[in-house]
Amino acid sequence: MEGPSDSLQARILPAPRGRIQAAAAVFVLLNFPISSFAWGPVAHRAIAKIAESRLSPQARRAIRDILGKDGKNHDVHLDQIAACPDAFSMADERFCAYDFNIEGDPKRTKSWHYINIPISLKAATRDSLKRYCPHGTDCVVAQIRKDMGVLKDPKSSRLAKQEALMYLVHFVGDAHQPLHCADDHDQGGNLKPVNVEYNGQALNLHTVWDDALDDHGKVVYLLPEENLAEEADALASQLEQDLEDPEAHKSGEIETWTQGDDLPGQMALESWGIAKNVIYPQYAKDHGAISNPAHNQIGREYKTRMQPIAYERIEMAGVRLAFLLNQIFPQN
């Protein structure tokens, strides 16, 4: 899209397991155009739900104290704030979870959602994360680290922690979208056309992945809040079942997702590796396979190959987000 050593290399995920079936959930785009950096709102909320189910009691209490109540005197949950940064960046929507007001310049935050690491590199390393993060701050990896620091700092105000938590939940999701962390002189796939059109709007490689390769004919643009929550529940429930399935994951596999001394960097390097070694080569080989014969949906063959990768990235994001939050708010 438009660390201490270099020992951390981009890790390529295993070939798709083929055990995750197509989601029943409808992926949603909010009431603004398909964006160049939105890992769909349903996916973001599903990531937050997966994370919330894995929070320690201490982390749960701390988050409840930070987020407080909504306008109906209900606790605000992570899934309610998960998609707010996209609405803010793209549509200057400053209210999040009913009463939470986002401050600042929306344009200033746009570059925080991604990092443009060229796929022309033979390998991406921790040095790459530094080199391709403008000013050392304007990329998704730097912002994740910054938000974690704000949440850990006892001197941070509650408002600062609210904003940091909102961005952290969102950016951990963004860092797991492969095309948020790789670039082929195409703004992370935004300039690579795909012969799929929905409601008169042509899609591109990035927008295909933004919706986890769901059928765009199912996309609902003006989904009410309660329906959005239902769709996120459905997706999170399906992915939770996969996470708990011993046949879908080798013993101890999920535990390895949270190992390492630099998870924010690891997320991005993995995403770069998937883009470089799977997504871009497949596009170069036969980008027509992304379309069905009618050119109004993603092709079955492409979905069969790619959707399990996208779903596993959503699972990993949820598991890792919980891990980071539990570290930020440790047990007393």
Backbone φ, ψ for residue 93 (5° rounding): -85, 105
Domains within the chain, CATH numbers bracketed: 41-328 (1.10.575.10)
Interatomic CA distance for residues 122 and 100, integer angstroms = 44
Neighbours of 262 (CB within 10 A): 18
Cα Rg of the chain, angstroms: 19
pTM of the model: 0.86
Interatomic CA distance for residues 281 and 149, integer angstroms = 37
Residue 40: which pLDDT band, with cuts at 50, 70 and 90? confident
- The pLDDT of residue 212: 66
Range from 16-25, 76-85, 251-260, 271-280 that averages highest in pLDDT: 271-280
Task: Confirm if 30 and 87 have CB atoms less than 8 A apart.
Answer: yes
Interatomic CA distance for residues 280 and 198, integer angstroms = 23
Fill in the amino acid letter for 183. D
pLDDT in tens, 164-189: 999 999 999 999 999 999 999 999 99
- The pLDDT of residue 1: 65
Task: Confirm if 237 and 218 have CB atoms less than 8 A apart.
Answer: no
The average pLDDT across 215-231 equals: 59
Residue 332 has pLDDT above 50, yes or no: yes
Interatomic CA distance for residues 36 and 29, integer angstroms = 12
Q: Give the least confident one: 10-19, 37-46, 113-122, 275-284.
A: 10-19
The strand pair at 201-204 and 95-96 is best described as: unpaired
Interatomic CA distance for residues 308 and 28, integer angstroms = 19
Q: Of 253, 277, 317, which is closest to residue 17 (Cα–Cα)?
A: 253
